[in-house]
Structure 1
Amino acid sequence: MQRKTTKSIAVYVISLLASVPVFSQQRDLKLWYDHPSGKVWEAALPVGNGRLAAMVYGNPEAELIRLNENTVWSGSPNRNENPHALAALPEIRQLIFAGKTKEANQLAAKNIQSEKINGMCYQPVGDLQLTFPGHEQYTGYSRELDLQTAVANTVYRVNGVKYTRQVFASIPDQAIIIRLSADKPGSITFAASVKSPQKSTVAVNGNNELVLSGISGDKDGVPGKVKFQSQIRFKTEGGTAAGSSDAIQITGANAVTVYVSIATNFVNYADISADEAKRTTAYMNKVWPKNYTALLKDHITAYQHFFNRVQLDLGSTDSIKNPTDIRVRDFAHGNDPQLVALYFQFGRYLLIAASQPGGQPANLQGIWNPLMNPPWGSKYTININTEMNYWPAEEANLTEMHEPLVQMVKDLSVTGRETAKTMYGAGGWVTHHNTDLWRITGPVDPIYYGMWPMGGAWLSRHLWEKYAFSGDKKYLQTVYPALKGAAEFYLDFLVEEPEHKWLVVAPSMSPENSPKAHPGESITAGATMDNQLVFDLFSNTIHAAEALNTDKELVAKMKAARKRLPPMQVGQYGQLQEWLQDLDNPNDKHRHVSHLFGLYPANQISPYRTPQLFAAARTSLIQRGDVSTGWSMGWKVNLWARLLDGNHAWKLIKDQLTPAGVNKGENSGGGTYPNLFDAHPPFQIDGNFGCTAGICEMLLQSQDGAVHLLPALPDDWKNGRVSGLRARGGFEIKEMIWENGQLSKITIVSTLGGNLRLRVPNALKENGQLKAVSGDQLNVFFQPDETAKAEISPKANVEIDTLKETMQYDLSTKVGQVYTFTKK
Structure 2
Amino acid sequence: MILPPDYYHCFLGNGRDAVLIGYTGAMVPLRAQGDLDRCYWYKSDRYYPEARGVISPARLPPPGTPLHAEGSGWYELAPLGRTWYELWRGGRRLDVRAASQRFLPHEATLYSSVDYGALQAEAVTFLHATRPLLVIQYEFSEPVEFRAHFSAQPWVDEPYEPMPFDDLRIDRDAARADYRLGETHGWMGLALNPAPTAAGHSDDGCWLGVAAQRITHYYAIVDDQDAPLDHAVLDKAQSLGYTALRDEHLAAWRAYFTRSAITLPSPRFQYLYDSSLHLFKAAQNPVSGGLPVNNLRLTWSSHLFWDAYFLFDPLVHSNHLHEALEAVRFFQRTLEHARRHARDEFGQPGLKWDWEITHGGHKAYGTWLHQKEQMHNNASYANMIWSYYETTGDRTYLAEYYPLLRGLAEFFLADVVRQTARGYEVRPLVGVHERPEPLQNEGLILSGTARILQLAAQAAGILDLDPDFAAHCAEVAGRLIQALDLLWTGHYFASSEGSAHMNLSSLAPIYPMRLIAPDDPRALATAREYLARQTEYHAGYGPSGTMRGTPWSTGLLATIFALQGDGDTAWSLIEGTTPALSQHGGYSELLLPPNNRWNMMYFGTAHGSVCTALQSLLLSAQGTEVRIFPAVPAAWPACAFERLLAGGLEVSARFDRGRGHLSAEVRNITPASLTRRLWLGDAVETVTLAPGAQWRQERASGW
TM-score with structure 2 setting the length: 0.82
Deviation at 1:57, TM superposition (A): 0.6
Partner of 2:697: helix, strand, or coil? Answer: strand
Find out whether 1:621 has 2:530 as its counterpart: yes
Deviation at 1:214, TM superposition (A): 4.3
Match of 2:284 in 1: 355
Return the match for 1:751 from 669, 677, 684.
Answer: 669
Match of 1:25 in 2: none
Match of 1:47 in 2: 12
Aligned 1:438-449 pairs, distance under 5 A: 438-440=360-362, 446=368
- AA matched with 1:675: H
Deviation at 1:302, TM superposition (A): 0.8
Question: Taking structure 1 as reference, are residues 758 and 208 closer, same or farther at Cα in structure 2, changes over 3 Å only?
Answer: farther
Return the match for 2:488 from 561, 571, 574.
Answer: 571
Find out whether 1:209 has 2:175 as its counterpart: yes
Return the match for 2:379 from 448, 457, 462.
Answer: 457
Partner of 1:426: helix, strand, or coil? Answer: coil
Task: Judge conservation of contact 1:173–1:295 (CA < 8 Å) in 2.
Answer: no
* Aligned equivalents of 2:325, 2:7: Cα separation in 1: 28
Match of 2:304 in 1: 380
Task: Judge conservation of contact 1:208–1:235 (CA < 8 Å) in 2.
Answer: no
Match of 2:558 in 1: 637
Deviation at 1:74, TM superposition (A): 3.4
Question: Taking structure 1 as reference, are residues 191 and 574 closer, same or farther at Cα in structure 2, changes over 3 Å only?
Answer: closer
Task: Judge conservation of contact 1:412–1:439 (CA < 8 Å) in 2.
Answer: yes
* Aligned equivalents of 2:388, 2:103: Cα separation in 1: 30
Task: Judge conservation of contact 2:186–2:222 (CA < 8 Å) in 1.
Answer: yes
Higher alpha-carbon deviation: 629-638 or 682-691: 629-638
Question: Taking structure 1 as reference, are residues 242 and 203 closer, same or farther at Cα in structure 2, changes over 3 Å only?
Answer: farther
Find out whether 1:127 has 2:82 as its counterpart: yes
Partner of 1:757: helix, strand, or coil? Answer: strand
* Aligned equivalents of 2:668, 2:71: Cα separation in 1: 52
CA offsets, 1:787-815, max 9 Å, x none?
xxxxxxxxxxxxxxxxxxx4321112233
Task: Judge conservation of contact 1:672–1:679 (CA < 8 Å) in 2.
Answer: yes
Deviation at 1:305, TM superposition (A): 0.6
Return the match for 2:40 from 66, 70, 78.
Answer: 66
Aligned 1:808-823 pairs, distance under 5 A: 808-823=684-699
Return the match for 1:229 from 186, 192, 197.
Answer: 186
Instruction: Could you tell me which runs of 5 or more consecutive residues in structure 2 were left unpaired when the two chains were aligned.
Output: 30-38, 52-64, 155-162, 536-545, 591-598
* Aligned equivalents of 1:535, 1:452: Cα separation in 2: 16
- AA matched with 2:280: L
- AA matched with 2:344: T
Match of 1:117 in 2: 72
Match of 2:538 in 1: none
Match of 1:344 in 2: 273
- AA matched with 2:209: I
Match of 2:574 in 1: 653
Return the match for 1:426 from 342, 348, 369.
Answer: 348
User: In terms of Rg, which structure is larger?
Assistant: 1
* Aligned equivalents of 1:360, 1:188: Cα separation in 2: 43
Task: Judge conservation of contact 1:207–1:241 (CA < 8 Å) in 2.
Answer: no
Question: Taking structure 1 as reference, are residues 554 and 397 closer, same or farther at Cα in structure 2, changes over 3 Å only?
Answer: same
Task: Judge conservation of contact 2:108–2:126 (CA < 8 Å) in 1.
Answer: yes
Task: Judge conservation of contact 1:63–1:130 (CA < 8 Å) in 2.
Answer: no
Partner of 1:129: helix, strand, or coil? Answer: strand
Aligned 1:140-539 pairs, distance under 5 A: 141-156=99-114, 158=116, 161-182=119-140, 184=142, 186-187=143-144, 189-197=146-154, 198-200=163-165, 203=169, 205=171, 209-211=175-177, 213-215=179-181, 225=182, 227-237=184-194, 240-244=197-201, 246-267=205-226, 278-281=228-231, 283-284=233-234, 286-315=236-265, 337-355=266-284, 357-359=286-288, 361-364=290-293, 366-369=294-297, 374=298, 379-382=303-306, 385-440=307-362, 446=368, 450-502=372-424, 504-512=425-433, 522-539=437-454
Task: Judge conservation of contact 2:152–2:177 (CA < 8 Å) in 1.
Answer: no
Return the match for 1:728 from 639, 642, 647.
Answer: 647
- AA matched with 2:75: M
Task: Judge conservation of contact 1:357–1:401 (CA < 8 Å) in 2.
Answer: no
Question: Taking structure 1 as reference, are residues 299 and 483 closer, same or farther at Cα in structure 2, changes over 3 Å only?
Answer: same
Task: Judge conservation of contact 1:62–1:132 (CA < 8 Å) in 2.
Answer: no
Deviation at 1:343, TM superposition (A): 0.9
Partner of 1:584: helix, strand, or coil? Answer: coil
Task: Judge conservation of contact 2:73–2:366 (CA < 8 Å) in 1.
Answer: yes
* Aligned equivalents of 1:405, 1:432: Cα separation in 2: 17
Partner of 2:559: helix, strand, or coil? Answer: helix
Task: Judge conservation of contact 1:599–1:639 (CA < 8 Å) in 2.
Answer: yes
Task: Judge conservation of contact 2:374–2:430 (CA < 8 Å) in 1.
Answer: yes
Deviation at 1:388, TM superposition (A): 1.7
Task: Judge conservation of contact 1:208–1:243 (CA < 8 Å) in 2.
Answer: no
* Aligned equivalents of 1:356, 1:724: Cα separation in 2: 25
Question: Taking structure 1 as reference, are residues 57 and 496 closer, same or farther at Cα in structure 2, changes over 3 Å only?
Answer: closer
* Aligned equivalents of 1:286, 1:251: Cα separation in 2: 21
Task: Judge conservation of contact 2:2–2:98 (CA < 8 Å) in 1.
Answer: no
Question: Taking structure 1 as reference, are residues 214 and 423 closer, same or farther at Cα in structure 2, changes over 3 Å only?
Answer: closer
* Aligned equivalents of 1:756, 1:306: Cα separation in 2: 30
Partner of 1:43: helix, strand, or coil? Answer: coil
Partner of 2:106: helix, strand, or coil? Answer: coil
* Aligned equivalents of 1:446, 1:624: Cα separation in 2: 30
- AA matched with 2:146: T
- AA matched with 1:73: Y
Find out whether 1:600 has 2:511 as its counterpart: yes
Match of 1:324 in 2: none
Task: Judge conservation of contact 1:381–1:435 (CA < 8 Å) in 2.
Answer: yes
- Structure 1 runs of 4+ with >4 Å offset: 35-38, 60-65, 113-116, 137-141, 157-162, 201-208, 282-286, 375-378, 441-450, 740-743
TM-score with structure 1 setting the length: 0.70
CA offsets, 1:182-238, max 9 Å, x none?
354x435114121334334665557553325242xxxxxxxxx25352422313226
- AA matched with 1:571: W
- AA matched with 1:702: A
CA offsets, 1:579-611, max 9 Å, x none?
2x3x232xx4x6x41232221123222145xx2
Deviation at 1:566, TM superposition (A): 4.9
Partner of 2:136: helix, strand, or coil? Answer: strand
Task: Judge conservation of contact 2:101–2:111 (CA < 8 Å) in 1.
Answer: yes
Partner of 2:510: helix, strand, or coil? Answer: coil
Deviation at 1:128, TM superposition (A): 1.4
Partner of 1:428: helix, strand, or coil? Answer: coil
* Aligned equivalents of 2:335, 2:168: Cα separation in 1: 40
Partner of 2:667: helix, strand, or coil? Answer: strand
In terms of fraction of residues, the more strand-rich structure is 2
* Aligned equivalents of 1:584, 1:465: Cα separation in 2: 32
